[in-house]
Amino acid sequence: MIMKRILTAVLVTIFMFWSVFASEEYVTKTPLEAANFLAAEGIITDWSANPTEYRLLDTITRQEVMKIVAKLSGEEVPAMCDGVFWDVDTAGWGCKYIEWALKKEYIAANDNFRPNDNITKTEAMKLVLKVKNISKTQVTDNWQEDYMMTAYEYGIIEAMYSDYNADATRGWIFQITTATIEQEEEIKIKIEEKEKLMSDEAAM
């Protein structure tokens, strides 16, 4: 009976935790505000004096996002490029960022990388969460849904979406990157609290 009451109390605590967690709302910056924030952080080029140059409604390529992710990491990226991907120019500006991401295991070791293809919203989301070491809140056989739900539950995006293969716009990338930076410490606290609750439950 005592164990049953303790278990019930733990489950109630978990339920309350996730109820509060799921109901929290984070008001993201506008695409322009996010772009200026990232520019001030040195992650993207500062076009605050001429905002149209941010091209907020344009799509963004896979290699462009690799550069943002590398800048977001704060790590120094080696200048040398080994030519791992046959479709990536070793003399091009994006090669070092792409191969850095490969070494960090943020991207897969395929024969080609498609550097000039547009990146999708969920591919970008996965990279941003990985570089910030933010674990998924769920693990299913649908990795795209997993990353979307993780971003939603952590307040990185304001609404769920199902168009996982839709191309991301530059403004959207700037928004999720900024939201992740601003929410990072709070997210890490939530992860620790969740792990502690699950550990306490497992020990019973």
Q: Would you state the structure tokens that stand for residue 191, as one six-digit string?
A: 């992860």
Name the packing angle between helices 121-131 and 170-202 (round to 10°): 50
pLDDT digits (tens, 9 = 90+) for 74-128: 999 999 999 999 999 999 999 999 999 999 999 999 999 999 999 999 999 999 9
51 DSSP 8-state letter:
G
Q: Would you state the structure tokens that stand for residue 108, as one six-digit string?
A: 């897969």
Contact 45, 179 (CB under 8 A): no
61: nearest Cα among 111, 2, 7, 124 = 124
pLDDT digits (tens, 9 = 90+) for 115-171: 999 999 999 999 999 999 999 999 999 999 999 999 999 999 999 999 999 999 999
Which residues are 11's β-sheet partners?
none
pTM: 0.82
Contact 54, 32 (CB under 8 A): yes
Q: Kindly report the three-state secondary structure assignment for every residue of 15-57.
A: HHHHHHHHHCCCCCCCHHHHHHHHHHCCCCCCCCCCHHHHCCC
* Percent of the chain scoring above 70 in pLDDT: 84
The residue written with tokens 């001429």 in the block is 50
Q: Would you state the structure tokens that stand for residue 82, as one six-digit string?
A: 């080994």
132 DSSP 8-state letter:
T
